[in-house]
Amino acid sequence: MSQKKEKEKNSVEHSRRDVEEFFEFKKLDSRAALLFEADVDDAWRRLGVQGDTLDDVQFKGVVRTLSDNGWYQRHPVGRFASAEQMRYSVDVDTDIMDTETVAKFFNVSPRTIQGWVSKNYIPNFHIGNFVRFRLTDINSWIDGLMTKGRRTLRPTLREAA
C-alpha cells in the first residue's frame, strides 16, 4: 500500500464540535464562550481550514493555537484517550495545570491542594475564579523543599580503607 493511501487510512477527521469538547466549551460562561468562538474562528482562518472538518494536522494546529492563546485544555486523557487523540494533548506545549492535575501529580486529593492554596503554601495564580499552577513553578517549589539526606554513621568500605 502506498504511503499516501496509508496516511489517508490512518487519518482521523475532526469537527469544530471536537475542538469545543476538547476545551469543554459548554462549561464556559457566556463571555468566555464568545471569546473562545472568536479564537476558534481566527484559528480556522489562519490555518486555512475549508468547511467544518479538520484532518489530524489541522486539528493539532487549532489545539496548539488555542492553547497558545491561553485556552486551557481540559482533556489530557479523559474523553480523548485513544492513541490518536491523546497525542494531541501530550504534544501541546503547556505547563499550566489545574487543581485535579496537581493533585494527581502529588498523589493527594484535590481538597488537599485547595488547602495548600488557601494557606499560600504552594505557588499558584488565578484566572477568573479558577486556580492554576505552572509546572515550572511547582518543580522549583519542590526543589526548594528538598533536603540533603543524613550522612550514614557507619563508614563505608571505601572510607574505612
Interval 57-96: pLDDT, tens: 888 888 877 877 777 655 443 444 444 444 344 333 457 8
Per-residue pLDDT reduced to its tens digit, 21-32: 887 777 777 777
Residue with cell 479564537: 39
Q: How many CB atoms lie within 10 A of CB 77?
A: 11
**Residue 46 DSSP one-character state:** H
Is residue 29 helix, strand or coil?
coil
Q: Whole-model pTM?
A: 0.40
Q: Which residues contact 51 (CB under 8 A, 6 or more apart)?
A: none
